Chain A
């Protein structure tokens, strides 16, 4: 097979990209699962986190991966405060309001970024940006391998939190039955904000993993968030394993379609899958009927 030497690297590349899509989708699906809201600010928060990583590197010389322990808790706190201080207050508990508030937040964040940081793209250079791992069949860039491993680890950690801790149980209880959770003494507002915080921490982790191989600009969130929405729907709204599998499928699809249909048409495959899922399995791969 002459094609094999292109096909395998393309699939591997797709998997590494897909893992990052999954990580971003994870935050989205968590927030959806618990709060039942579509978080339109997700992409803007990703962009904000990427700028945080960028400036930590440019200003203080902190490596993007070493920035994880700073950026992730920072964005967890930001997400927590954003939910408690802005979204919960402005929405008065109505879902359709939450939707609009997150949309508003995203517009504000994005335009502030344009105002303060201009809209040109910026990249950072690390010693390993150029390094590749020779897998025999393909050279995969080191940042992509790290991103792949990192995304899997975060997914695993999140799964552990959700299934083994009190916080996870409270979040799941809230997702299933809001009134019931309140009756057994769960602090609903706190758990809502915790969920939003964790969702935001996920994009912060994604930002740290992305920046060594990707650029940042005020519009960079759009690049990912539309795909993340697709991943969430494909995997099943609110399902973590679904988000991971969905992300990997989308990554590989995008890569293969780019290879065979041309770069400009590469995303067609994603949306064909999206439409097929909606037609034949509207709850997504691992979703449950509401």
Chain B
């Protein structure tokens, strides 16, 4: 009996010693790996929700980032660092903010110099904060809610426009389109998803639309995922608004617009703002009838830019859709590469400094050269698109437009 006890106590001590040794070893192993990362390839965290309800967008976003990394590596990597290659460290936020933050911790351990991602606003709030703790530069690809850049995080840089800017532009364009048609529309209903993005959007719209001559009849929120939009569409049919403004992610947008078509509800316009699917080739191809004439104020590339045209061909040759998630991430990685080129090092503080002074002009978004003030790219702006006969046409602003708006929607 006593021998058994003795054995037990020895083994426990041995275990503690072994565990301590292992911890020490792993700690020591971790240190040189960071040093090594600075000499070899530059590690870049590519963090998106590639599983869960946002998986489609997440996978599109990842594909865009990976294609940019591939191209940059092919043409010689980061020249100022002796042709150092970009090495992606892939992360999956599983469509959840807490998982996104945990992935940032893992990327920190892996010694990344910067992070690009994470598509959704709710996740971006968590990941930018987690990255700030380790002083890792975080380029936000989409994540539009204003708070992403208004919390004073010096590591956070948003390439695309923020929500206030998008909504302001959307309202300006809506007023212009309505005025141009002789003001046929007066009443509005808003349908939005209930996370940070949709809720923020509906709040801004409720503040600003009444001042521009529109009456908001009702604002309806829904969960992600929503299985059935019949009730919401019934309410729309009963109240007969002139314009319906949906603001939700891809799957819900598709289901919503299909239900609208199914219930034969045709307002004068379906005017999406960051409509998850309204500017997506996939939606237009899969459901052309439901997509017809839907307008959207969203991220879009400059259709005249040859780099964009070439990328679109390459993307479609791979069997992928050329969506905003994809091209924004592509350009975010190029923005990072340009900053690394000027920094000449993968050192985190230097990367943040290089991004803060960025004047990247060689991208294909209709933004002009980048200029970050408190982390927000000042030139970033959305454009208006409309689905016309199975094509996504750019209808606003006029200098990029490829077609004229069709408004009000013709009766079916």
Which A residues are within 8 Å of any B CB, using their own CB?
A: 2, 5-6, 9-10, 13, 17, 114, 118-121, 123, 125, 129-130, 132, 139, 141, 214-215, 223, 255, 258-259, 262-264, 266
Contacts and interface: CB of A to CB of B under 8 A. Distances in A.
Interface in B252-266: 254-255, 258, 261-264
A101 B227 CA distance: 30
Given A121-B55, A255-B230, 11 more contacts: A6-B234, A9-B234, A118-B51, A120-B51, A120-B59, A130-B262, A130-B289, A139-B262, A255-B231, A258-B228, A258-B231
A118 B194 CA distance: 25
Contacts of B262: 130, 132, 139, 141
A139 B266 CA distance: 14
A187 to B, nearest CB: 41
A29 B231 CA distance: 29
Contacts of A123: 254, 286
Interface in B200-242: 220-223, 225-228, 230-232, 234-235, 237-238
A264 B194 contact: yes
A255 B254 CA distance: 20
Interface string B246-286: 00000100110010011110000000000000000000001
A214 B227 contact: yes
B240 to A, nearest CB: 11
B235 to A, nearest CB: 7
B231 A10 contact: yes
27 contacts: A6-B235, A6-B237, A6-B238, A9-B234, A10-B234, A13-B230, A118-B59, A119-B55, A121-B55, A121-B225, A123-B286, A129-B258, A130-B262, A130-B290, A141-B262, A214-B227, A215-B255, A255-B230, A258-B228, A258-B231, A259-B234, A262-B220, A262-B221, A263-B222, A263-B226, A263-B231, A266-B231
Contacts of B225: 121, 215
A119 B96 CA distance: 14
Contact of B228 (A5, A17, A125, A130): A17
Interface centre among A6, A121, A130, A266 (most CB of B within 10 A): A121
A114 B92 CA distance: 14
Interface string B138-166: 00000000000000000000000000000
B122 to A, nearest CB: 16
**SS class, residues of chain B in contact with chain A:** helix
Task: List the 8 closest A-B pairs by CB distance, nearest first.
Answer: A120-B55, A263-B222, A119-B51, A258-B231, A259-B231, A13-B230, A6-B234, A264-B223
B287 interface: yes
A139 B55 CA distance: 32
A130 B263 CA distance: 9
A119 B52 contact: yes
A125 B284 CA distance: 13
Contacts, number: 76
Contact of B264 (A5, A139, A214, A215): A139
B321 interface: no
A214 B238 CA distance: 25
Contacts of A259: 231, 234-235
Contact of B261 (A13, A114, A130, A214): A130
B258 A13 contact: no
A121 B264 contact: no
Interface in B6-58: 51-53, 55-56
Contacts of B220: 262-263
Given A121-B53, A132-B262, A139-B263, A5 B232 contact: no
B205 to A, nearest CB: 18
A118 B95 CA distance: 14
**SS class, residues of chain A in contact with chain B:** mixed
A223 B221 contact: no
Contacts of A118: 51, 55, 59
A13 B263 CA distance: 12
A132 B233 CA distance: 14
B238 A263 contact: no
A194 to B, nearest CB: 32
B263 A132 contact: yes
Interface in B170-197: 194
Nearest to A256: B231
Nearest to B289: A130
A139 B259 CA distance: 11
Contacts of B263: 132, 139
A5 B52 contact: no
Contact of B223 (A13, A130, A263): A263
B56 A120 contact: yes
Contacts of B231: 10, 13, 255, 258-259, 263, 266
A22 B29 CA distance: 58
A259 B152 CA distance: 41
A215 B230 contact: no
A130 B258 CA distance: 7
Contacts of B261: 130
A264 B230 contact: no
Contacts of B228: 13, 17, 255, 258
B58 to A, nearest CB: 8
Nearest to A124: B286
Contacts of A5: 237-238
B234 A125 contact: no
B229 to A, nearest CB: 8
Nearest to A7: B234
B226 to A, nearest CB: 6
A2 B251 contact: no
B100 to A, nearest CB: 16
A5 B237 CA distance: 9
A266 B231 CA distance: 10
A120 B225 CA distance: 12
Nearest to B287: A125
B194 A9 contact: no
Contacts of A10: 230-231, 234
Contacts of A139: 262-264
A259 B264 CA distance: 19
Given A139-B262, A141-B262, A259-B235, A264 B56 contact: no
A262 B191 CA distance: 11
Nearest to B58: A120
